[in-house]
Structure formats: C-alpha cells, structure tokens
Structure 1
Amino acid sequence: MAMWIQAQQLQGEALHQMQALYGQHFPIEVRHYLAQWIESQLWDSVELDNPAEETKAKRLLDNLVSELQKKAQLQGGEDGFLLKIKLGHYASQLKSTYDRCPLELVRCIKHILHSEQRLVQEATNVSAMDSLSQRHQQINQAFEELRLATQDTENELRKLQHSQEYFIIQYQENLRIQAQLSSLSSLPPAERTQRETTLQSKRATVEAWLTREASTLQKYRLDLSEQHQKTLALLRKQQTLILDEELIQWKRRQQLAGNGGPHEGGLDVLQSWCEKLADLIWQNRQQIRRCEHLTQQLPLPGPMEELLSKLNADITDIISALVTSTFIIEKQPPQVLKTQTKFAATVRLLVGGKLNVHMNPPQVKAVIVSEQQAKALLKNESTHSESSGEILNNNCVMEYHQATGTLSAHFRNMSLKRIKRSDRRGAESVTEEKFTVLFESQFSVGGNELVFHVKTLSLPVVVIVHGSQDNNATATVLWDNAFAEPGRVPFIVPDKVLWPQLCEALDMKYKAEMHSSRGLSDDNLVFLAQKGFTSSSNNPEDYRNMTISWAQFNRESLPGRNFTFWQWFDGVVELMKKHLKPHWNDGAILGFVNKQQAQDMLLSKPNGTFLLRFSDSEIGGITIAWRLVWNLLPYTTKDFSIRSLADRISDLNHLLFLYPDRPKDEVFAKYYTPPQYVSLTAKAVDGYVKPQIKQVVPEEPASELNGPDLNQELTPNILDQAIVLDEQTWYIANRTQDIGGGLCVYISNAWCSNAVKVDGQCSPVLEVNC
C-alpha cells in the first residue's frame, strides 16, 4: 500500500502516465480498494512463460475476486450502495476476462506495479524498496509464502470437514435404510419383496458411495497431512533464520555495544517477525488439532493417527523453541557490577502480546550465578536456580504496554548485597572471575494448554567491591565482549587473539568514550603495538599476523613499569574523556608518540614548536614536548582539576606553535579562561582579594645547558597568587628559600631578595606579604 500512497501523490505528466495504466482490463478502483492486498502478493514469483505456473496464477485470480467480493459486502448505507454494486461488477468482470488465461492477469498487474514503481522513483529519486535490505525482503517474502500455505491448508481443512460431514450424513442414511430393511418382516410378502428390492438397491448405491468416499476422505487427510509437513518445514526454516541468525546478530551487536559499538537497534523489527511466526505457528497448530478431532470423529483405517501425533509433537517443539528463545534481555545489567550499588535491567518476551501472556502477567526472578552454575544450567544438569549471591529487589511482574505492544519487566532498583566467590584458577584474580545474572519465569498459553519455563542469562559480569578494581574488571569485560563466539560454553574466550582483532576492539572503545568519529589511526596502532610487543618496528604489516595474549594485555606488567598494557591505555582513555576530549577532536593532541619520536619530529621545526604526547612512565599522564625539546613532567587528572591544559599552554611563553606549524592561540584560545583583573586597593566584600593561579617553568642559564638535555623533564610551578596592578602582573610564588638571612621568593629563573619577579625584573614587594 505504501507504493499506492506515493503513486497518488504524483503530479503532472507522471500522474497522467499512472492513470493511463488502468482501464477496462484492470479498473483503477480495484487498485485503490485492494491496494494493500495487491502489494502484498508475490506477483514476481510467477513465471509468465511457464504454463505450469497457471495453477498459481489461477489461485491469485480467485483470491483477487474473493477479496473484491468481501470488500463489496462490507459497503453499507446509501453512499456505499453504488460502490457495492460497482465492486461486485468488477469481480465478475475480472473473473470472466481472465478465468481462461490467469497468467495474463499476472502479466497485467506486474506491468502496472513496475510502472508505478518506476514513476515514483523518477519523481522522488528514491526506491521504495531501498529501505529494506535484501535479507529482510527475503524474510518478508517467506512470510507471504507461509501465509498462503497456511491459508491453503485452512481451505483444504474446511473442504475435508464439509466432505466428512456429508459422509456422516450418508452413513446415517445407510443406517436408516438398514433399519427399514429390518422392519420389513411385518409386511405382507408381496409388499415386502417390492420394498426390500428397492431398499437393497438404494443401500447398495449408498454403500458403494461410502466406500469410494471413505477412500477419498483418507486421501484428503493424507494430502492435508503432507501439506502441513511442508508448512512446518518452511516454519522451521524461517524460525531458524530469525532466531539463529537475526536474533543472534542482534545479541552480538548488544554485546559489542558494551565495548562502545553502535547501539543495538532493530528489536522492534525482530519482535514483528517473531509475532508473525507465533501467529502462523498457532494457526497451524489449531488446524492440526482440528484434523485430530475430525479423525477421532470418523476413524478410518490408515496411518493418520500416527501422522497427526508426529505433526502435533513437531508444532509443539517449534512453538516451544520460539517462546523460550524470544525471552531476552533488552537492557543488560552493568557488566562491571559493584556490590551495594543500585543497578537496573529489562527483560522482554517478544511474542508475549501475540500469545496473550499478559492476560495473566507472569513474574520474573533474577539471581546471580557463577560460571560453573551457568554451564550446568545450559547443560540441563541443574533444574533449580542455585545462587552465588543475594540480589535485593530481584522480583518483577511483566507489564504489557499497549502503545508499543511489548511485554517486559523493568528491574529498576536491584542491588547486589553480597557475592560468593569460587576458588580461582592459577594466576586468575577476582577481577577475572565472571558471573551472570539469570532471569527466569513461568507462564502458560492457550488456556493452560502449554506451560513454559523460560530462562535467559545476561552477558558476563565482573563483581567488584571497590572502585580501584574497576580498571581490571573492565579489561575482562572488554576482552570477553570482543572475542566471545556465539554458542560458546560459558564463558570461554580465546587466550590469544590476532593483533588486528584487538586493535578493532581498542578503536571501538576509544571512539565511544571520546564520542568522536576520530579513532585510533594506523600510526597510533603501531605505537600501541610497539608498546604491547616491546618492538621498535614502524611497519604495520609486521604486526598483522602477530597474536597477543590475555597475559600480555592485562596480567603481565610492561617492561620496566608497574602497570599493564591495558592499565596504561585505560588511563589514557580516562584522562582524555574527563579533560581533553575537545582537544583530541580538534586534532591538537598527537598523544601516541614516544620521546624519541617527539625529538625527531621537533628537531626540524623552529624553536617554540611543541606537541602533546602521552606519558610512557605514568598512567593517565600527558606531557608537553617542545623545541629545544624539553619534556614537562606529565600532567594527570589531578593537575587538570586545578588548571586546564589550554590555560597551562597559555601560561608558558616558551610555547609558540603546535606541531607542525599552527600558532598556539589559533588552536587553544577558545578554551582559555578569561583573565580576572582586580586592583590591590579593591577589596571583596569579605575583605579578601581573590588570587589567580598561573604556571611557570624554571629556566636554566645558557652556560649550563651545553646543548639540550633531551630526556630532562622540567617541573612547572603553580603560583599561589597572581595579582594584576597597573596593567602589570605581580607574582607571589609558592617556594621560598633563605639566602643570607633574607626572605626570598623563587620566580621564573631568578631568586629575588624580598621581592617578586615582574616581567623579568626584580621588583619590591610593596605591601604584599610574601
């Protein structure tokens, strides 16, 4: 119907061309009133040049006429009277026109639909089908085939029922004739002979008919059973595609979202597919049960009882698999779970609304289980839910939301009160131990006809008791999310992975934390490879086939350091996320550069050129390297909570150009804190003058340099106060030293007795108390 809505919006010549497609051969009124039905049929599946397809075309014609007749019957009132007559006339007209050549009807409608689609595409330059992937189109086409197959078996079942009812009537007639024959003994011989001959002849005719019809009925039953078997095979195929591929892919996207991947969408589409499956499965199940009833009502010799029993078992298996697989976790609990901390989760039954489960809302319970307990549950070795801890507020009733048609349970205030840990293996730490939250429920469908006990496990969670464990717990979660395989035994992950695989996971995490499309470049990844493998190669190809182990990632410390590869990387991510995100997105931070690389890059640049790189020696540190290649002691989160990076760069007059040649104010000025100018004589309301903080770096006399010390790190001083007076800045330092008995203040590069340094000059303190 979507195409017809668009076709009606055509204008000018396109509208005239669309109208010209219709006429006596196919009235435009038929297209209008049956738009949805027409667009839902598989016209393209009919091969026009194949005479064997005539049966399929005839079915489409009959269904079209039937739909027109139904539409006509629905018209009422004075306004609908003429339309009722017109639609009825069109039904008869199409039947008489195409009954002997149904393939021509298909040819006509295919031409109309393709022409409409072309006109709409030309008008909007957008294909109505482009919004659906080819895979989704295949799924929708398969649903249409299933709908038609289910409708066919429904029609055949009704025919069988009518035939069987007529058979029973004739059977009763045969019994009545037999009763009449038995009652002839009381008649005179002449009359009895005449009546007996007539009744016996009639009985012979009826019995012969009953014999033939019994054989026909049995054939109908067998044919219908075969049709049901084919439909169930199609249902299994479609359900496998949706549950074992589409739903598994959705769960995989959900897992990668835990590492910062794209948010998992498409759940509403999955629900619509699962609901269609549930509807079709239930219709077929009801048909099979009606077949059983007919067979019981009129037992006939043959294998029908066994065939129907198998069909019933198969359809029950199919619907059981659908219900148990569509009990899913829509919103996962946090994968790093801290005790005594509130957390939330949401579970959803994708077929709940269709099966009317909400009529008696089921209750869902959540418990936390260990890795071993999860294995036992999946192997069905454990029938009851053992727990490895205590979760508060762990029961919730599923609610049906009419607007969205979803049945879900929202756990809003859960809290893990305590955890019971298992014996750890080898070098495994508490932050490598994995648990999972088990959600389970029980409900019935079809008036307690079927009872389901459903369970689903959350993604692995690592339980911590202190924030200091968060870093290592996150490493466990990241590795598991990135490298877990579908259908694994809980919660096995490979101990080694290819370096490019880890690069992909790190890049995903980095971009997500930075909320930026600027991720890790090839040069950044080479830097990380050098750090992870203790290598000096700058060629990315050298690392393509190398593997990195979990121990290298977050168990063994980097050479000469007391922290692991992941701890260093995570420290960088935290620093950037909290303080430096805008500068990274501006391209101002190179970051992944070592000291030697920084030296090589700066040596060819003018003095005052600087760059920003991450510290190799400190977690979550960033340093400034500049020509003449000094390296400042790394800044950390604590430093940036006092004064921002942009303001620190502004403070240092040594820094002129951000590598390679961008004036620093051009890059950082928009982030500078506006200066506050106050007079020494101006007092605040409370009698105090507010001090300002500023950074300085000590300068060494040129005679002591003897060339730059490329590895020396200078410590910047943060001044206690900086006061502006008469357009000059008076600095009061935080370091003092006694020289010759006088109180001195260390400012910039000089020691001034009883003075402060102003613009390179030693000036008297005046009334400022140092």
Structure 2
Amino acid sequence: MSQWKQIQQLEIKYLEQVDYLYDDNFPMDIRQVLSSWIESQDWDTAANHESMATVLLNNLLSQLERQCSQEQNFLQRHNLKIINQQLQLKYKASPLHMAGVIATCLREERRIISTASIQEQGPLEKSMQNPVAFERQKNLDNRVAVIRSRVQMMDQAVKHLEDMQDDFDFRYKTLQSRDPADRNTDVMKQEVTRLQEMLNNLDFKRKVLSKMRDVIKEIDALVVSQLNPELMEWKRKQQINCIGGPMLTGLEQLQNWFTLTAQSLFQMKRQLDKMGELILKVTYESDPIPLQRPQMEEQVKYLLYHLIRSSFVVEKQPCMPTHPQKPLIIKTGVQFTTKVRLLVKLPEVDYQLKVKTIFDKDLPPGRVNRQFFILTTNTKVMDVEESSNGCLSVEFRHLTKKHFSKICVLCWSQGPLSVTEELHSLSFEAQFNILGINIDLETCSFPLVVISNVSQLPGGWASVMWYNLLTDEPKNLGFFANPPRASWGQLSEVLSWQFSTFAGRGLNREQLHMLGEKLLGHQASHSESQVSWSKFCKENIPGKPFSFWMWLDSILELIKKHLLPIWNDNCIMGFVSKETERSLLKDREPGTFLLRFSESHLGGITFTWVEQSENGEALTFASPYTKSRLSALPFADIIRDYKVFANGEAPENPLKFLYPDIPKNEAFGRHYNSQQSKVQTIPPMSPGMFDMLTQHLSPLEIETAVSTVNLNRHTAASQDPYCRPIYQVLGQ
C-alpha cells in the first residue's frame, strides 16, 4: 500500500498532524494528484544535490502540467494551474529548498504512520508536544504585542514632547528678544506665567521616562522567563529531530518574537537618543532626562546585545550530502553543509556581516585528540533571505575537513575512547557594530563525530543518537568519558524512529518488545529498564561476534537496499525469536510462513514455514538469505519461485500463506517481477548450516549440489533430514 493511502486511513487525530505539514510551500493538492510519482523519487538525496533537485523540479512541473491537461473538474484544473505558477515563482531559483520541503513532509508522514501503528506516543514525542505549549505561546504573542503597543505609544509621547519643547523654545526666545523696558508690562507678565506653565507641563511630560523604565523591565522579564526558554526548547527539538524525531517547527515563530522584541528595543534606543537631543535645547534643575537617561540607555544596550547574541543560531546542523538523514557525522575529505541564521531582523547594516567557522575551538581541559583543518574557505558573508522575512542567514555548502595530525590516542580516566566516541565542535563567529553597540556573535553546532572511513558510520551514528537523546548541553565534548544510561522507553522510541526514517515504517509494540528482550532479557525489558552505552553499542551479544546496535543497523541496511517494498507493506514480522516463531506457526495451516531477521549473523532474513508430519506433528523449516544472495534477485520473486524436493516428486513451493492466513500472492503479488525467475531448488536449512556451506562452496556449487538430492520433508525433525545431504556435499 502506498504511503499516501496509508495516511488517508489514519484516525482524525493523526490526519490533523498531516494537515499541519502542508501549506503554500508544498500544497496538499500536489501530494494528492501526484502521490505515486512523488513517493518514487529520492527527495532526501535531491535536497543536497542542486543538479538533481533542478531535474526533479522540472519533472514535477511537467507532471503537474500533464495532470492539469487530464483533469476534468474545472475548479480543480484551475487550482492546479495556479499552484504550478506559484511553484515556478517560488522554487525556480532555489530547487534545493523545494526538495528539502518535500523530503521533510514525506519523512514526517512516515513518522506519523509509525506512531499510529504503535498506538501510543513515546516519552520523547510526548515531551515535544506539550499540551500547554499552545497557551504558553499564545501568552508570549500577547506579551510581545502589548510591549510593541506601549513602545508605539511612547513614540507618540516623545514626538508630542518634542513639539511642546519646540513651542516652548520659540516662545522663550521671542520673550528674550523683547525690549527690556517692556518686561514689567502686564502682557509680559502674562507671557512669563504662560512659559512657566509650559515648563511645568514639559517637566510632567518628561516623566514619560518612568513608563520607559517599566517597559524595559517588562522586556527583561520577557526575555528571561519566556524568550530564552522557548529558544532552548527549540534547540532541544532540533536535537530530537536530528535523530529521527518529529519535524522541527517553530523557528519562524521564534524569529517573529525575537524580531519584534528587538524592534521595540531599537525604537526605545531612538527615543532615548531623541531625548538626549532635547536636553541640549532645554534643561533645568531636577530635569529627569539627564538624571535617568544614561542608566536606561545602558539597560537597552545590554538587552539588545544579549538578545541579538542569543538569536544567532545553527539553523541546519552539519551534514554530509551523501548521508542527509545522518547529520552531525563528518567524514574527512567529504564535503558537508551547515547553515546559521540571525533570528533578529536588523536595521540596515552599513557593511557586510562575515561569519567565520572554527573547528574544535573549545576542547575540554587536558584533552588530546586528532586535529583537523577546513580545506575550503571558512568565511562567508550573511545575506538577507527573503523566505525568512528579511533576516540574515548564511549556508556553508562546500566545507571539507582534513585530518592534519594524530597526536595520540584519546584517553580518559576510564580508558581509551574509540574514534566514534570522540566529539568535536564547529563554531561560528561574527562581529559588527549597530547603534553604537559592538556585538560579538558566536554559536556552535551540536557535537560532531569525525570519521575517516565509511565503516565507522554505524558507530558514529550510535554516538550521535546517544548524545542527543540524553543531554541538551551543547558543548559537553567529554560526554563519552562517562556516558549516562538510557531508559528502554526512551531508547526504543529512538530505534523506532530509525526504521521510520530509513526504512519507511517504524516498529510496533510487539517488535519493540522483542528487541527489548534481546537487549535486556525477558525480565528486564519494561520501559524503565536502564540500558548502558556499552551494552547497546560496544559489548557483543552473548555468543555472537557483534553488538546489539551493529546487528540492528545491518537490518536497517538490509531493508533499505533489498526489502523496502515488502517492509513498508507490513509483510515482514521481523523481530521474533525462534521460540515465538514455532509457537505462532504450530497451529497454522501447512504452508503458512513468516519472515524474520536472522539473529545469528548480520544482515540476514529467513522465511520459516510449517508443515505436518505423517503422525500429525507440526514441523517448521527455514531458509535464510543474506545481502549477497538478495543482490541477485528481488526477495518477493524468491518467495514466489522457491521450490524444494519431496520424495522424488517434482519440486514444489512450500510457501502458501503469509502469517496468519494471507494468501502468498495476495501479500506479495504487487512486488513480483512480471517474468518468472529460475526455479529455486535450494532446500530449507538453519542459518548455521547455510553459513557452513558458504564457507566451502560458491552459490552456484551449492545450488548444483543440493538440486541432486531428494529431501524427504516428512521425516521426523530429530533425524534432521536437511542436514544429512549438506554433510554429504561437504564430504563430512
């Protein structure tokens, strides 16, 4: 079933989440009419390759034009034409942006489908969807709006004060120009009285400063109690999004709050400057302006300085275009991209704002590790980005890191750390002056893992997941000196995200339960059970030459390269123990089979089916397949064409019903190739037996040997009829 059809079958509460994804950037009309074509394209890769994004944009527009010409409904045809025009205007100069938008929407759809299949949100996703967040943000909107209104009113008060002072200044100078002989006349006395009244009124109006002081206190409280916490929460959401969590939203809203607050401060700075000009014309004893203005001006500058500094954020964390869904991992010699943004829309700056990147600026004390330098230019000018409402941003698209020297093995008190546990940072700096305020901007990425070989990628990604799951400290580069434990509830949610992100469908409750038992044992796989970093990633599974994460990552790779269609159609049970497998199949119709991932070697899948012996006993048989065998033939075709020998009879396919009772062709028919492949006559065997064969014979020799052997599938299991011909082939 296509992803869009799965979406349409969701409950209302999930459809509301889907509705939130689509706007003018990617209208839902396009998603509907071009659903099959959209899902067949690699948008994740295109989002990091401009040439590919350009081709896909042109193809999208062509597909849309074709759909318009075929559409019979006049209103729908009109709407599609308008959308086509809008897309051309919006994305013609930025096809990468379009590819990124569509990739994000599809990825978020998969996450929503995965969440719906589990029927219960995990702790991390619940924390990202705080029910009081909307009210909190609404309150922040109101506070910012009230502050803006009060500042605007003060602007009018300062203008009125200036007009009054100009009037007073004119009358005072006119009075001074009169003949001294006229000063004792009644008219002159009346004028002096009038001037005194005007001065008293001026003094009263100048007490607007007390209202300004109140607004400054309000802005200070707003920044400390609401703006900064909202920014920290967005950064935490960005961490969770980096490891496959919910779509990152809220940056535009943050930018709006920061910009409006900064604009209020800029306006108050101008008001204070104006008052400074006023006292040059008129001042007097106990004048509040020279008494209060200097301190207030310093407060406004202080707030502006810290507000603008905190608004300098990493919008896109460093990521290699070759692995767009695994940010924060950099391979030496491979280009990576990153983007920073200033959330405050500044008044015009009279010179270019240059951003410089620095690698490993703040290493922990006493740490000695590999050194790197950036091969390409590390300085770039920020530009006004129209899509961000005129804020400044800069994207570094072609940074490349090179290993400079290796001083020694990185060590802590607990012992040496591996390369993938060695964390690095990428800092961004800029300097500029605005309204007489010198501002040093600085921000940094989340900690990075630098690898030198692609084989280190799984370990590096494990480190990225563990770090961002368990801490929100942006500069904790010594994290893996003593990594904290994760609860199984937290970890299982992140693992399910990996499957929804990389394989299109997350894990359900039963699959996660089996993984918990594999990692922690039958008695310890509840949500509060604690998992150590070592047990997750470093220690081998008992009796196996690989760790839990290496095993799971190999399954992800297997699905992505060889099993994606049938995985997304929910045909693979996947994570089920051999004991549970036998229990599930024993009471089923003969020929019922299920698909599970191999527990004995990396990147393998096995189909196991049930048959009935002559005495009525249920017997189960299995045939394993590895990545190398699946490279030659689609797995659905293997299932369709699989054959075994029985009692000298013609070979037959023992696979009839996908568990629990779905006819095989109904489950896999849409994934078959039209042409029937060569008959599979490889007998069923255990994963161990298959491994033994592949150590001695080539795949062609195995097939030739076993095809000459008659296998009696109804002999008692204790006699192991499938092992005997294997030993004969091996000469044992």
Normalising by structure 1, we get a TM-score of: 0.64
Alignment check: 8 A CA contact 2:559 2:567 kept? yes
Alignment check: 8 A CA contact 2:364 2:477 kept? no
2: CA distance, partners of 1:158 / 1:437 = 47
2: CA distance, partners of 1:375 / 1:712 = 48
Query: How far did residue 236 of structure 1 move?
Result: 2.9
1: CA distance, partners of 2:339 / 2:514 = 41
Distance 1:402 1:588, change over 3 A: closer
Is 1:366 equivalent to 2:357 in the alignment? yes
Q: Which residue of structure 2 lines up, in the alignment, with residue 591 of structure 1?
A: 574
Query: How far did residue 536 of structure 1 move?
Result: 2.2
Is 1:673 equivalent to 2:673 in the alignment? yes
Q: Which residue of structure 2 lines up, in the alignment, with residue 356 of structure 1?
A: 348
Q: Which residue of structure 1 lines up, in the alignment, with residue 650 of structure 2?
A: none
Query: How far did residue 464 of structure 1 move?
Result: 0.3
Query: How far did residue 175 of structure 1 move?
Result: 4.4
2: CA distance, partners of 1:747 / 1:171 = 116
Q: Which residue of structure 2 lines up, in the alignment, with residue 747 of structure 1?
A: 707
Query: How far did residue 293 of structure 1 move?
Result: 2.2
Q: Which residue of structure 2 lines up, in the alignment, with residue 454 of structure 1?
A: 441
CA RMSD in angstroms comes to 3.4
Q: Which residue of structure 2 lines up, in the alignment, with residue 297 of structure 1?
A: 281
Query: How far did residue 488 of structure 1 move?
Result: 6.8
List per-residue Cα deviations over 1:544-594 (Å, max 9, x = no partner): 322112122112222222222211221121111222122122221111111
Question: Counterpart of 2:411 in 1: which secondary structure?
Answer: coil
Q: Which residue of structure 2 lines up, in the alignment, with residue 342 of structure 1?
A: 335
Question: Counterpart of 2:425 in 1: which secondary structure?
Answer: strand
2: CA distance, partners of 1:484 / 1:143 = 31
Q: Structure 2 regions of 5+ residues with no counterpart?
A: 1-132, 320-327, 612-618, 644-652, 712-732
List per-residue Cα deviations over 1:447-466 (Å, max 9, x = no partner): xx333221111122100000
Q: Which residue of structure 2 lines up, in the alignment, with residue 399 of structure 1?
A: 383
2: CA distance, partners of 1:246 / 1:645 = 48
2: CA distance, partners of 1:745 / 1:212 = 115
Percent identical among aligned pairs is 28
Question: Counterpart of 2:625 in 1: which secondary structure?
Answer: coil
1: CA distance, partners of 2:485 / 2:476 = 17
| Amino acid in structure 1 at the alignment position of 2:627 | T
Q: Which has the higher Rg, Structure 1 or Structure 2?
A: 1
Q: Which residue of structure 2 lines up, in the alignment, with residue 572 of structure 1?
A: 555
Q: Which residue of structure 2 lines up, in the alignment, with residue 20 of structure 1?
A: none
Q: Which residue of structure 2 lines up, in the alignment, with residue 155 of structure 1?
A: 156
2:497 to 497, 508, 530: 508
The worse-fitting range, judged by mean Cα deviation, of 496-505 and 302-311 is 302-311
Q: Which residue of structure 2 lines up, in the alignment, with residue 441 of structure 1?
A: 430
Query: How far did residue 611 of structure 1 move?
Result: 1.2
| Amino acid in structure 2 at the alignment position of 1:697 | I
Q: Which residue of structure 2 lines up, in the alignment, with residue 283 of structure 1?
A: 267
List per-residue Cα deviations over 1:501-546 (Å, max 9, x = no partner): 1112112222111223xx222222221111221x124xx8x62322
1:310 to 269, 277, 295: 295
List per-residue Cα deviations over 1:360-388 (Å, max 9, x = no partner): 32222222116626999xxxxxxxxx985
1:327 to 312, 328, 336: 312
Q: Which residue of structure 2 lines up, in the alignment, with residue 218 of structure 1?
A: 203
Alignment check: 8 A CA contact 1:392 1:417 kept? no
| Amino acid in structure 1 at the alignment position of 2:359 | I
1: CA distance, partners of 2:290 / 2:316 = 46
List per-residue Cα deviations over 1:703-740 (Å, max 9, x = no partner): xxxxxxx897557999xxxxxxxxxxxxx993399xxx
| Amino acid in structure 2 at the alignment position of 1:168 | D
Q: Which residue of structure 2 lines up, in the alignment, with residue 635 of structure 1?
A: 625
Is 1:735 equivalent to 2:701 in the alignment? yes
Distance 1:170 1:711, change over 3 A: closer
Question: Counterpart of 1:635 in 2: which secondary structure?
Answer: strand
1: CA distance, partners of 2:710 / 2:638 = 21
Alignment check: 8 A CA contact 2:603 2:627 kept? yes
1: CA distance, partners of 2:337 / 2:259 = 27
Question: Counterpart of 1:660 in 2: which secondary structure?
Answer: coil
| Amino acid in structure 1 at the alignment position of 2:625 | Y
Is 1:261 equivalent to 2:245 in the alignment? yes
Q: Structure 1 regions of 5+ residues with no counterpart?
A: 1-131, 182-194, 377-385, 677-691, 701-709, 719-731, 738-743, 752-770
2: CA distance, partners of 1:658 / 1:715 = 26
The worse-fitting range, judged by mean Cα deviation, of 580-589 and 629-638 is 629-638
Is 1:234 equivalent to 2:235 in the alignment? no
List per-residue Cα deviations over 1:254-278 (Å, max 9, x = no partner): 2222111233234333333333223
1: CA distance, partners of 2:501 / 2:492 = 14
2: CA distance, partners of 1:736 / 1:627 = 24
Alignment check: 8 A CA contact 2:572 2:596 kept? yes
* Higher RCO (C-alpha under 8 Å, 6+ residues apart): 2
Query: How far did residue 323 of structure 1 move?
Result: 1.7
Correspondence 1:548-559 to 2 at 5 A? 548-559=531-542
Distance 1:235 1:417, change over 3 A: same
2: CA distance, partners of 1:641 / 1:339 = 29
Provide the aligned length of Structure 1 versus Structure 2. 541
Q: Which residue of structure 1 lines up, in the alignment, with residue 663 of structure 2?
A: 663
Is 1:271 equivalent to 2:255 in the alignment? yes
Question: Counterpart of 1:332 in 2: which secondary structure?
Answer: strand
1: CA distance, partners of 2:605 / 2:188 = 105
The worse-fitting range, judged by mean Cα deviation, of 141-150 and 456-465 is 141-150
Query: How far did residue 279 of structure 1 move?
Result: 2.1
2: CA distance, partners of 1:505 / 1:640 = 28
The worse-fitting range, judged by mean Cα deviation, of 212-221 and 593-602 is 212-221
1: CA distance, partners of 2:660 / 2:689 = 22
Q: Which residue of structure 2 lines up, in the alignment, with residue 623 of structure 1?
A: 606
